[in-house]
Amino acid sequence: MTKAHTQHASPSTLAPPVTNVVIKLLPLTLAVFIGFLVIGMQLPVLPLHLHDTLGMDTLVVGLVVGSQFAAALLSRSWAGNYADMRGAKRAVVAGSVAAAASGLLYLASLAFLDAPTTSVWILVAGRILLAMGESLIVTGAMGWGIGLVGPQNAGKVMAWNGIAMYGAYALGAPAGVVVNGLWGFNGISVATLFVPMLALAVVAGVRGIAPTSQRRTPFYKVLSAVWAPGMGLALSSVGFGVITAFIALLFAAKDWGNASLAFTAFGVAFIGARLFFGHLPDKIGGAKVALVCVIIEAAGQLLIWGADTAVMAYIGAALTGFGYSLAFPGFGVEAVRRAPPQTRSLAMGAYVAFLDMSLGITSPLAGLLADAGGIASVYLAGATAVALSVVVALKLLFGSSKGNRHA
């Protein structure tokens, strides 16, 4: 066995048995929900502010919105090391403060509406600060949760964090539209300033865990441990990416009406899978769950590609959501198993970075494909990418079995 496997097998690295994992994780899950709620509120509002109020073209809108993704990807290593060396609780607290501080920059940008370029640059600074806060919150919460309930429950930690993140996006978007309608972007800025501070009250009484590392671990060392499950996550995330970016355009091209039910079908299936089956990666193994779920997700993508009615597309979106929901913790359990315990938060940051990378690459490439082959073609490409993650899951499954025999 490798050193990492030996360390994981040591009883000293495991947390005491937890009678109710969900109750233990509830404050952390709520903190993640609060942190991501402000991101969700900005999704439908920021592009309109940039375009309509500041008069920016679509290229600038894309660059400003995308700056958060780029900053999140680049800050994963720093955030993971911070959580490992300073403590996961401190990382969540610092992330919440950073997210709130981005609201101050948003407010400052409103003082320069007569100088749109200056206002945009201040907004970019706010987006970068928000991304750093998001990295600290999510990597800290996952490392903290695993420290509280033990690596044997890593799948549950990731499942509940995912529910919090995607639930915050789903509720934050309509909330942002309401706030913007009542008070404009000023209301969004004030919400960004105050909402993250609620997370501090939520986690204040939760027991922290001791730092797991005394020195900074090079990112590439952890990356080499999690790259295989990370590639599985990246490939399976393509299905999620093309749903969010192109399902509305597909419905418009097919004249099927409003695509909101497709998002609803995806979201309900996603959250339902995590609620009812989120325990399976820990119970029967991450690779087994990932293998079954990416096959379901690929089938959903194929169904959307071949759909000739809106109902078929709804079913395809639901299958995509169900499969992708458990692929994330499925591959994630394998990532935790391969990473040394003292770099747990950094490993989670490295793993989530594969999601950032996938979503960042998928949209522009799929856009080029849609121009060349039509909107529906992106779902055939999505099915192909997700099918490649089946190969990764098989490699992890048989590699794990071989390692267990050798042990």
Asked if 188 and 279 sit in the same domain, the reply is no
Q: How far apart are CA 193 and CA 187, in angstroms?
A: 10
Asked if 173 and 240 sit in the same domain, the reply is no
Percent of all residues in the chain with a pLDDT value above 90, rounded to a whole number: 46
Asked if 153 and 302 sit in the same domain, the reply is no
**Quick one: pLDDT at residue 229?**
95
Q: How far apart are CA 244 and CA 250, in angstroms?
A: 11
Q: Is residue 378 part of a domain?
A: yes
Q: Is residue 50 part of a domain?
A: yes
**Quick one: pLDDT at residue 29?**
94
Q: Is the pLDDT of residue 6 over 60?
A: no
Asked if 234 and 181 sit in the same domain, the reply is no
C-alpha angle 154-224-15 in degrees, rounded to nearest 5: 25
pLDDT digits (tens, 9 = 90+) for 114-157: 999 999 999 999 999 999 999 999 999 988 998 999 888 888 88
**Quick one: pLDDT at residue 400?**
59
Asked if 191 and 338 sit in the same domain, the reply is no
Q: Is the pLDDT of residue 68 over 70?
A: yes
Q: How far apart are CA 266 and CA 246, in angstroms?
A: 13
Q: Is residue 281 part of a domain?
A: yes
Q: Is residue 210 part of a domain?
A: no
Asked if 154 and 23 sit in the same domain, the reply is yes
pLDDT digits (tens, 9 = 90+) for 195-234: 999 999 999 989 888 887 777 777 677 778 899 999 999 9
Q: Is residue 209 part of a domain?
A: no
Question: Three-class SS of residue 338?
Answer: helix
Asked if 23 and 157 sit in the same domain, the reply is yes
Q: Which of 140, 112, 130, 127 is nearest to 62 (CA)?
A: 127
Range of the domain at 352: 219-406
H/E element, 331? helix 310-338
Asked if 191 and 325 sit in the same domain, the reply is no
Chain mean position to CA 268: 17
**Quick one: pLDDT at residue 18?**
45
Mean pLDDT across 22-45 = 89
Do 81 and 145 touch, CB atoms closer than 8 A? no
Asked if 197 and 241 sit in the same domain, the reply is no
Asked if 228 and 139 sit in the same domain, the reply is no
Q: Is residue 188 part of a domain?
A: yes
pTM: 0.72
Q: Is the pLDDT of residue 3 over 70?
A: no
Q: Is the pLDDT of residue 383 over 90?
A: yes
Mean pLDDT across 88-109 = 96
Q: Is residue 8 part of a domain?
A: no
Do 79 and 137 touch, CB atoms closer than 8 A? no
Asked if 196 and 318 sit in the same domain, the reply is no
Domain total of the chain: 2
Residue with tokens 């952390």: 28
Mean pLDDT across 335-356 = 82
Q: What is the CATH number of the domain that holds 196?
A: 1.20.1250.20
Q: Is residue 345 part of a domain?
A: yes
CA distances from 45 to 70, 100, 186, 225, 284 (A): 20, 18, 11, 39, 42
- Please, which pLDDT band fits residue 58 given cuts at 50, 70 and 90? low
Residue at a domain's end among 176, 203, 230: 203
Asked if 241 and 357 sit in the same domain, the reply is yes
pLDDT digits (tens, 9 = 90+) for 228-266: 999 999 999 999 888 877 787 788 889 998 777 887 788
**Quick one: pLDDT at residue 402?**
53
Mean pLDDT across 260-274 = 85
Between 97 and 350, the more confident residue is 97
Q: How far apart are CA 104 and CA 115, in angstroms?
A: 18
Phi first, then psi, for residue 339 (nearest 5°) are -95, 145
Residue at a domain's end among 148, 176, 203: 203
